[in-house]
Amino acid sequence: MTKPDTADNENTDAPPERLDFVRQIVADDCTSGKWDGRVVTRFPPEPNGYLHIGHAKSICLNFGIAAEFGGACHLRFDDTNPVAEEEEYVHSIQQDVRWLGWDWGEHLYFASDYFGQLYEWAVQLVEAGKAYVDDQSAEQVSANRGTLTSPGTDSPYRDRSVEENLDLLTRMKAGEFPDGSRVLRAKIDMASPNVLLRDPVMYRIMHTPHHRTGDAWCIYATYDWAHGQSDSIERVTNSICTLEFENHRPLYDWYLDALGVYHPQQTEFARLNLTYTIMSKRKLLRLVEERLVSGWDDPRLPTIQGLRRRGYTPVAIREFCKTVGVAKFNSTIDVALLEHCLRQDLNKHSPRRMAVLDPIKVVIDNYPEAQVEQLDAINNPEDPSAGTRQTPFSREFYIEREDFMEDPPRKFFRLTPGREVRLRYAYFITCTDVVKDADGNVVELHCTYDPATRGGDSPDGRKVKGTLHWVSAAEAIPAEVRLYDHLFTTEDPEDVAEGEDFTANLNPDSLVTLTGCMLEPSLAAAEPGSRYQFERKGYFCVDPDSAADKPIFNRTVTLKDTWAKLKKKGKTH
Ligand code: ATP
Ligand code: MG
């Protein structure tokens, strides 16, 4: 039996060779003593969906920096919107961060723990004349915000007295008013060129229970009001976020300065985009809810759980994030690079096995009928310490249907009538006869073997061009094998005709299920989650739904490395 991959969670990553611009900022801060030598980062997901490969980039950056600079990285749930958030997501996010190999230690936080402090600060702004209760509807607020080229219009309630604002805010909190009837807004500048500074909403009324605070609150902080202050409360030094928050920074600065509290440094980097991949949580949710995929852990999804079920390793994902690096401009990364990083890791660690996915039976006419031989097979040519195993060989076995052609083209070097080929680790065989059914389909092949070629070597130096994998028929384990391809047919799934959406680009062949595949018997004990290379066929892993009486394997990735090819030709960066 093969060991499952126990090294999965050991994270001994070295920092990237050259400091990226975010790490350079942290390094400079350490040199200048800006934060008294402290380095505190955080990963702040909203618990409204499952994490995906884009989040992995942010996780590796934040936890990586903390690890490299001897600091801490907080896991904080930005759980300010009770409508979309659920405990299920809180749980899965923690599981995924750990699986990726990171540890927040004691630093697990929730923005909802700060609701009381945030409210006190809101009162402070009201008392300072810097926030007011607005009775306009959401539509009116948004209509009066103006446009990028024209200033907004002051709310008729903008100049309420401090006393009136305090009274209304207290009553909002006490639950006196219905949803949407009032909001608390910061009093900044309705003519600011930055639309986000035009009196942004701080609190909205929502009589909705929260997954952690229950019915305690019926007003909820907006993300923008909660986010920067949460970083401040946690005394984060470097608030690292994606580029779309660049124009939120002046607002976060305004809040922190108006309150006169601790002020972290925000730095923005470009989010990860991948070809053939959708990353928005809202769209992933749609795929799950409309059952266009089997669930959040569908192996075709870019979710961490999907990648995991597909057979990805944490090492491969971390290596990918490191290779991609961080930059200040948006770009789309070729998914072939992710697959390349995966193959590099799987190649080193995956035991090799033989499995025939589309079997055709072969009978060796001159092989003794009841004989079974145990032949030595190498477990991993990349790792001599993996040793060898024994695999049975007998008179009847399976090969891939595509490895035989009755009437082959010139460059076909595999089995064909009259031709000798090698069976890996076994013998040279020559095809002597082809059995067909009434419709002319090949159903069985007859061969002869040369007993002198045991182990797959010829004593007289005779050469053969083809080497085939095979599985002995009597001992073979029938299995289901699921072949996955990109979920979308187009590099950019959003590239659609008018009136269509990204689902129009779903790949109808993204999952092909093969039944009646034949595996070598050593795979009988394969544990769910364990990974193998099926010789000549790709990397595969055991699905969690697999059972002894119904083994299921997922194809993680094929052997063909298109990225390595491009790299050779100098077509990658
Ligand atoms: P949505 O898909 O709803 O916009 P989100 O992906 O921003 O949500 P969050 O839970 O807010 O989800 O993300 C947590 C953190 O992960 C944020 O700091 C965000 O910047 C980062 N993040 C999200 N998507 C990516 C991405 N594609 N690349 C890099 N970082 C990302
Ligand atoms: Mg977000």
pLDDT of residue 5: 43
Q: How confident is the model at residue 1 (pLDDT cuts 50, 70, 90)?
A: very low
271 lines ligand 1 (CB under 6 A): yes
Q: How confident is the model at residue 6 (pLDDT cuts 50, 70, 90)?
A: very low
CATH 2.40.240.10 in the chain: give the residue spans.
355-476, 478-573
pLDDT of residue 284: 96
CATH 3.90.800.10 in the chain: give the residue spans.
115-223
Ligand 1 atom with minimal separation from the 58 CA: 30
Which residue among 52, 55, 282 is best mutated to probe the pocket of ligand 1, counting the most ligand atoms within 8 A of its Cβ?
Answer: 55
Report how far residue 567's alpha carbon sits from residue 517's, in angstroms, rounded to the nearest whole number.
34
Task: Find out whether 203 and 170 touch, Cβ atoms under 8 Å.
Answer: no
Closest by Cα among 447, 453, 395 to 422: 453
DSSP letter at 132?
Answer: E
Determine how β-strand 352-353 pairs with β-strand 238-242: unpaired
End-to-end alpha carbon distance in the chain: 41
Instruction: Report the CATH fold assignment for 21-110+226-342.
Output: Rossmann fold (3.40.50)
**Looking at domain 115-223, does it have CATH number 3.30.70.20?**
no
pLDDT at 7 over 70: no
The fraction of the chain above a pLDDT of 90, given in percent, is: 92
Within 10 angstroms of residue 187's Cβ, the number of other Cβ atoms is 21
pLDDT of residue 394: 98
Q: How confident is the model at residue 569 (pLDDT cuts 50, 70, 90)?
A: confident
pTM given for the model: 0.94
Active-site residue set: 46, 271, 281
302 lines ligand 1 (CB under 6 A): no
Q: State pLDDT tens for residues 194-218.
A: 999 999 999 999 999 999 999 999 9
pLDDT of residue 98: 98
Q: How confident is the model at residue 9 (pLDDT cuts 50, 70, 90)?
A: low
Which residue among 41, 43, 58, 332 is best mutated to probe the pocket of ligand 1, counting the most ligand atoms within 8 A of its Cβ?
Answer: 58
What is the maximum span of the chain, computed from C-alpha positions, in angstroms? 102
The superfamily CATH assigns to domain 478-573 is Ribosomal Protein L25; Chain P (2.40.240.10)
355-476: what CATH class? Answer: mainly beta
Report how far residue 444's alpha carbon sits from residue 401's, in angstroms, rounded to the nearest whole number.
10
